[in-house]
Amino acid sequence: MQIVAVDATGDTMHRMRWPAEQLAKQAPTWTVINVDATSPARHFLARRADLLIVYQSHDQSILSVIEERRTVAKQPSRIQRQFLRTPSASPIFRDWSSPLVWQTYERFMDLSDGVIVTGPGLHDLFKDRTDRPRFILENQMPYTPRPLARFQTHR
């Protein structure tokens, strides 16, 4: 089960939903379920999932679920992207500029059995932030994009 923002933004599609499909293809007997990060059922479902992936969350209520999962030997996991240098043009810049959010992410990594990142740069970046194993699950584009139309200017 993957706790994600369920929307149609590029971030969600390229870094959450399509990579989950690729992960499921690696093990055809797996079923990947995306649960919206705001769903009231997220805690109930997260407690029961065989594998839990929490993506870009600073929802501290999930931390207690991860701790509970440890007591029953379930495997928490974590998808993480670069939160320390969020570009100012990003719609998440304001929220992710908080040191409290950074500390929460680091707590997620400390409690998790592994950290999933989207490329070698993040893999290397997090080696000094966590002793947890790091895995690369690259951003996905399951189709070839159409070429951009030529723009014409009118005078």
Range of the domain at 17: 2-136
Is residue 39, in this structure, part of any structural domain at all? yes
Is residue 149, in this structure, part of any structural domain at all? no
Give the model's pLDDT for residue 80: 46
Residue scoring higher pLDDT (39 or 94): 39
Give the model's pLDDT for residue 81: 46
Amino acid sitting at position 102: W
Give residue-wise pLDDT tens across range 32-87.
Answer: 788 888 899 999 999 988 888 887 777 888 888 888 888 776 554 444 444 556 66
Is residue 147, in this structure, part of any structural domain at all? no
Is residue 42, in this structure, part of any structural domain at all? yes
Is residue 11, in this structure, part of any structural domain at all? yes
Distances in whole angstroms, Cα of residue 55 to Cα of each of 69, 150, 153: 17, 36, 41
Domain count along the chain? 1
Give residue-wise pLDDT tens across range 96-149.
Answer: 677 787 788 788 788 888 888 778 888 888 888 888 888 887 766 666 766 666
Is residue 103, in this structure, part of any structural domain at all? yes
pTM, two decimals, is: 0.60
Query: Count of H helices and E strands in the chain?
Result: 7, 6
